[in-house]
Amino acid sequence: MSFWGDLKKLTAESAKAIGTGVELLSEVAEEANKASERLLAETRVARLEKELAALAEGPGSDPVRAEKCGQLLRLYDELAALGSGTSDVDIVAKKGLISQDLSRQSARKLLGLIESLEQSIAKSRFSLPVQEINQKRGLLAQIDALLVQLESGDQAGMAGRFFARKKALLADIAKLEWLRATEEVSYFSSGVQFSRIGKYDGKRHGRSEYWYESGGVKLQMEYAHGQICGPIFCWREDRSVLFEGKRLPYSNLELTGYLRNGARVFQGELGPNGYCDLWFAGAVHAGSVWIENGRVRKLGFLARLMFSFSFWRAYWRLYRSEGGPTLMDETLQVIRQFDRFADDLSLLAMGQDPARATTVAGKTMTVMGLDS
User: Residue 123 pLDDT > 60, yes or no?
Assistant: yes
Give the per-residue pLDDT at 360: 43
Q: What are phi and psi of 237, to 5 degrees?
A: -65, -25
Give the per-residue pLDDT at 317: 78
Question: What is the Cα–Cα distance from 288 to 343, expressed in whole angstroms?
Answer: 22
Provide the mean pLDDT of the chain.
Answer: 75
Q: What is the DSSP string of 16-63?
A: HHHHHHHHHHHHHHHHHHHHHHHHHHHHHHHHHHHHHHHSPPSGGGHH
Helix or strand run (H / E) with residue 122: helix 88-123
Give the per-residue pLDDT at 28: 40
Calculate the dihedral angle through the C-alpha atoms of 266, 268, 270, 274, rounding to the nearest 10 degrees.
-130
More confident residue, 201 or 71: 201
Are 359 and 333 in contact, with CB atoms under 8 Å apart?
no
How far from 115 is each of 119, 320, 329, CA to CA, in Å? 6, 83, 71
User: Residue 323 pLDDT > 80, yes or no?
Assistant: no
Confidence at 57, pLDDT banded by 50, 70, 90: low
Confidence at 370, pLDDT banded by 50, 70, 90: low
Are 225 and 218 in contact, with CB atoms under 8 Å apart?
no
Largest pairwise CA distance in the chain: 148
Predicted confidence (pLDDT) per residue in 270-307, tens digit? 777 888 888 887 778 877 878 777 677 777 767 776 77
Give the per-residue pLDDT at 236: 92
Give the per-residue pLDDT at 217: 93
Question: What is the Cα–Cα distance from 265 to 267, expressed in whole angstroms?
Answer: 7
| For residues 150-155, average pLDDT | 61
Give the per-residue pLDDT at 355: 64
- Highest mean pLDDT (candidates 12-21, 138-147, 306-315): 138-147
Q: What is the CA radius of gyration of the chain?
A: 43
For residue 305, with 0-12 CB atoms within 10 Å meaning exposed, 13-18 middle and 19 or more buried, which class applies?
A: middle
CB atoms under 10 Å from CB of 347, counted, come to: 15
| For residues 155-175, average pLDDT | 83
Q: Model-level pTM?
A: 0.65
More confident residue, 245 or 51: 245
Predicted confidence (pLDDT) per residue in 189-248, tens digit? 888 898 899 999 989 999 999 999 888 999 999 998 888 888 999 999 999 999 998 888
Give the per-residue pLDDT at 7: 47
User: Residue 97 pLDDT > 80, yes or no?
Assistant: no
Give the per-residue pLDDT at 131: 92
Give the per-residue pLDDT at 368: 59
Confidence at 174, pLDDT banded by 50, 70, 90: very high
Rounded to the nearest 5 percent, the helix, strand and coil shares of the chain are 55, 25, 20
Is residue 294 left, alpha or beta, with left meaning phi > 0 and alpha meaning psi from -120 to 50?
left
Question: What is the Cα–Cα distance from 259 to 327, expressed in whole angstroms?
Answer: 8
Give the per-residue pLDDT at 2: 61
Predicted confidence (pLDDT) per residue in 16-50, tens digit? 554 554 454 455 445 445 556 666 666 676 676 66
User: Residue 94 pLDDT > 50, yes or no?
Assistant: yes
| For residues 302-330, average pLDDT | 76
Give percent above pLDDT 70 in the chain: 63
| For residues 112-137, average pLDDT | 89
User: Residue 61 pLDDT > 50, yes or no?
Assistant: yes
